[in-house]
C-alpha cells in the first residue's frame, strides 16, 4: 500500500517537476514566461492526438516537445524581438493555448489513448517495495530526474550556465562583454517551452492516457510558483514538486477514505498550499532578493 502511494506521488510530481525546471532556466535568463499552462495544454492535446493517429506514444512525446517549443518561440518573438510586455504576453499565450487546445481536441474527447508503457527490468522490477519504485516507472519519470540533475550541473558547473546566469542578473553588462543576450534568451525560452510541452504530453500519455479539455488543471501556475518556492535552485524544485505531488495525492486519498470535509475544499488543497508557500516566501525578502535574477522580466533592447 505504501509503495503504491509513493509511486502515485512520483507520477503526480513528474509533470510539475519538468515544467518547473524548464521555467527555472527561462527565468534564470531574465525572462518571465507566464504561458506555461498554455504550452502544457498544447503539448497534452498534440501528444495525445499524434499518439492516437500513429499508434506510437514516443511520436506523441516528440510532438508534444516540438509544439511546446514552437509555442514558446511565439512568446519569444513577441517579447524579445518586438519587446512586448512579458506578463501580458505570457497570459495571452495561456489563454490562446487553452482555447486552441479545446478546439483541436474536440474530436478526441472520450477516445481511449495510447499509454506510454512503464519500464520492466526482469529481476529488478520484481523486487519487494523498491522494485516498481526504482525500476518500474515510465521513461519520462527517469528523464525528469536526469533533467533536474543536468540543469543543476549546467547552471552551476559550466561556462555556458554562468553566461546564462550573467544574462539574467545583468543583461546590460553581459551585452557590453559581447554576449548575445537575445540569442541566449531565445534558447532558454525554447528549452522552457519544450519542457512545458513534455510535461503536458506526460499528462495525456502517462498520467491519464486520454484527452480532457483543460486537463492541465492549473499545473502550469503551480509550476511557476514552484520556481519561486525553490528560490531558482533546481534541486529545491525537485523537493518542492514532490511536496506538491504529495499534497495532490493526499487530498485524493482523503476523499476516498470519506473524511468529513467537503470534496471541493480537499480538491483546492494544492492551490491553497501554493498560496501559503508564496506568502511564507514573501516574508523573507532577503532570501528572495539574493536568489532572484536581477533582470527578471525587464526588457532588453541592444544598442544600435
Say if residue 274's pLDDT is above 80.
no
DSSP 262: -
Tell me what pLDDT residue 247 has. 83
Say if residue 298's pLDDT is above 80.
yes
Is the domain covering 2-291 a CATH 1.10.760 domain?
Answer: no
Show me where the domains of the chain are located: 2-291
**Angle of helix 234-256 relative to helix 219-229, nearest 10 degrees?**
130
pLDDT tier at 189, thresholds 50, 70, 90: very high
Tell me what pLDDT residue 243 has. 87
Buried b (16+ CB within 10 A) or exposed e, 234-243: bebbbebbbb
Q: Is the dihedral of CA 19, 256, 4, 213 positive or negative?
A: negative
In sequence order, what are the residues at sequence separation of 6 or more whose Cβ sits closer than 8 angstroms to the Cβ of residue 269? 247, 248, 250, 251
Q: What's the pLDDT tens digit per position in 199-250?
A: 999 999 999 999 999 999 899 999 998 998 888 999 999 998 998 888 878 7
Tell me what pLDDT residue 257 has. 62
Amino acid at each position: 500500500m505504501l509503495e503504491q502511494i509513493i509511486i502515485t506521488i512520483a507520477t503526480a510530481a513528474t509533470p510539475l517537476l519538468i515544467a518547473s525546471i524548464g521555467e527555472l532556466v527561462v527565468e534564470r535568463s531574465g525572462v518571465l514566461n507566464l504561458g506555461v499552462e498554455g504550452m502544457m495544454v498544447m503539448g497534452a492535446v498534440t501528444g495525445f492526438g499524434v499518439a492516437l493517429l500513429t499508434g506510437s506514444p514516443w511520436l506523441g512525446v516528440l510532438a508534444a516537445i516540438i509544439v511546446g517549443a514552437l509555442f514558446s518561440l511565439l512568446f519569444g518573438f513577441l517579447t524579445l524581438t518586438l519587446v512586448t510586455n512579458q506578463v501580458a504576453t505570457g497570459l495571452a499565450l495561456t489563454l490562446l493555448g487553452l482555447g486552441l487546445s479545446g478546439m483541436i481536441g474536440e474530436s478526441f474527447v472520450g477516445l481511449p489513448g495510447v499509454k506510454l508503457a512503464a519500464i520492466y527490468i526482469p529481476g529488478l522490477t520484481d523486487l519487494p517495495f523498491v522494485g516498481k519504485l526504482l525500476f518500474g516507472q515510465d521513461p519520462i519519470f527517469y528523464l525528469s530526474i536526469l533533467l533536474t540533475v543536468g540543469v543543476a550541473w549546467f547552471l552551476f558547473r559550466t561556462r555556458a550556465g554562468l553566461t546564462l546566469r550573467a544574462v539574467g542578473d545583468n543583461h546590460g553588462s553581459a551585452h557590453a562583454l559581447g554576449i548575445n543576450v537575445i540569442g541566449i534568451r531565445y534558447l532558454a525560452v525554447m528549452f522552457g517551452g519544450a519542457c512545458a510541452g513534455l510535461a503536458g504530453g506526460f499528462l495525456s500519455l502517462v498520467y491519464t492516457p486520454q484527452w480532457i479539455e483543460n486537463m492541465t488543471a492549473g499545473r502550469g501556475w503551480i509550476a511557476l510558483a514552484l520556481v519561486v518556492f525553490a528560490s531558482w535552485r533546481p534541486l529545491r524544485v525537485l523537493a518542492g514538486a514532490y511536496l506538491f505531488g504529495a499534497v495532490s495525492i493526499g487530498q485524493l486519498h482523503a476523499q476516498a477514505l470519506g473524511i468529513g470535509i467537503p470534496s471541493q475544499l480537499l480538491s483546492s488543497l494544492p492551490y491553497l498550499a501554493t498560496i501559503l508557500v508564496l506568502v511564507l516566501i514573501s516574508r523573507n525578502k532577503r532570501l528572495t532578493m539574493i536568489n532572484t535574477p536581477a533582470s527578471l522580466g525587464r526588457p532588453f533592447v541592444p544598442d544600435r
